[in-house]
Homo-oligomer: A and B are copies of this chain.
Amino acid sequence: MPSKMTGNTRIAPSKNLADILISRIREQIFDGELQLGDQLPTEQEMAEAFGVSRTVVREAIAALRSDGLVRTRQGRGVFVASNLDNRPFKIDTEMMNSAEDVMLIMELRMTIELEAAAVAAERRTKQDIAVIAEALEAVQKSIDIGEEGIEADFEFHCAIAAATKNPYFVDFLKYLGRIVIPPRYLNSAVLDADAMHDYLTRVQTEHRDIEAAIINGDSESARQATRLHLANGRERFRQQMKEKTGD
């Protein structure tokens, strides 16, 4: 055990028995071993089959039920759900190993941001416009104090999504935003403070173009401005990745 081990690098605890069982049963459902509507073995049978106590089985079943994968009928048994409509959409962040994956998720996120800007241009209220303006000021403040404004930038895009009046746009964008924050900056170790500030000011100009199109209620301009902004950001990211792999 290295003496430099700090509390933050504590080895993650291995999964407990209930977690292992959840994964096992989940696999059986997705691999087709268990079909929609099929009855699972009784709790007692599963306990014996997996060599665990019934408590562990019940914990696993509770999790699967909460996930919408199984239904339980007291006195009858446990059944695979008759449809998996209740299964949530989930990006497994542990499987995101590569920059390629990050790019693909960013692409999905950009798709949402793009159309959100267009719809926002159609539906925005005066209040929405005020919120978007505030978000832009927050970005500017962040830049002015020497930060990169990443969080404020995201709030700007969320404000646009809110102006669509479609909560599903907002929720999904927020979900994706938790998973990938597109770096709209070059590697900060490369640029000095002045160059970074110039660069971020250019990004902010792109933001203001989007804002203007939304204020004008011009969907097509909003779409174009957002597409340009996102394309620029993606190109920056791509170059950064190229430089990284060039190490």
A residues with CB within 8 A of B: 13, 16, 18-19, 22, 55, 58-60, 62-63, 65-67, 72-74, 83-91, 93, 104-105, 107-108, 111-112, 114-115, 119, 166-169, 171-172, 175, 178-179
- Which chain B positions have C-beta within 8 A of A74? 13
Q: Tell which of A86, A90, A115, A168 has the most Cβ of chain B within 10 Å.
A: A168
What distance in Å separates the Cβ of A66 from its nearest Cβ neighbour in chain B? 4
Q: Taking CB as reference atom, which chain B residue is nearest A168?
A: B108
Q: CB < 8 Å: which of B67, B104, B178 contacts A66?
A: B67
A62 and B87 alpha carbons, distance in the complex (Å): 17
Q: Is the CB of A89 within 8 A of B171?
A: yes
Please, could you name 19 A-B residue pairs with CB atoms under 8 Å apart, sorted by A? Answer: A13-B74, A16-B72, A18-B62, A22-B66, A55-B55, A58-B59, A63-B66, A85-B179, A86-B90, A88-B88, A89-B90, A89-B171, A89-B172, A89-B175, A91-B168, A104-B167, A105-B168, A107-B119, A107-B169
A89 and B91 alpha carbons, distance in the complex (Å): 9
Q: Is the CB of B171 within 8 A of A107?
A: no
What distance in Å separates the Cβ of A40 from its nearest Cβ neighbour in chain B? 16
Each complex incorporates copies of this chain amounting to 2
Q: Taking CB as reference atom, which chain B residue is nearest A84?
A: B178
Q: Taking CB as reference atom, which chain B residue is nearest A92?
A: B86
Q: Taking CB as reference atom, which chain B residue is nearest A62?
A: B59
- Which chain B positions have C-beta within 8 A of A59? 58-59, 62
- Which chain B positions have C-beta within 8 A of A66? 19, 22, 63, 66-67
If A19-B66, A90-B89, A115-B114 touch, whether A73 touches B13 (CB-CB below 8 Å) is: yes
Q: CB < 8 Å: which of B62, B83, B172, B178 contacts A108?
A: B172
What distance in Å separates the Cβ of A165 from its nearest Cβ neighbour in chain B? 8
- Which chain B positions have C-beta within 8 A of A114? 115
Give the 8 A-B residue pairs with the shortest CB-CB distance, closest first. A88-B88, A88-B90, A59-B62, A63-B66, A111-B115, A89-B175, A63-B63, A89-B89
What distance in Å separates the Cβ of A180 from its nearest Cβ neighbour in chain B? 10
- Which chain B positions have C-beta within 8 A of A172? 89, 108
Q: Taking CB as reference atom, which chain B residue is nearest A58?
A: B59
If A22-B62, A63-B67, A88-B90 are given as contacts, then 8 extra A-B residue pairs at C-beta distance below 8 Å, sorted by A number, are A22-B66, A59-B62, A66-B67, A83-B178, A85-B178, A89-B171, A107-B166, A108-B166
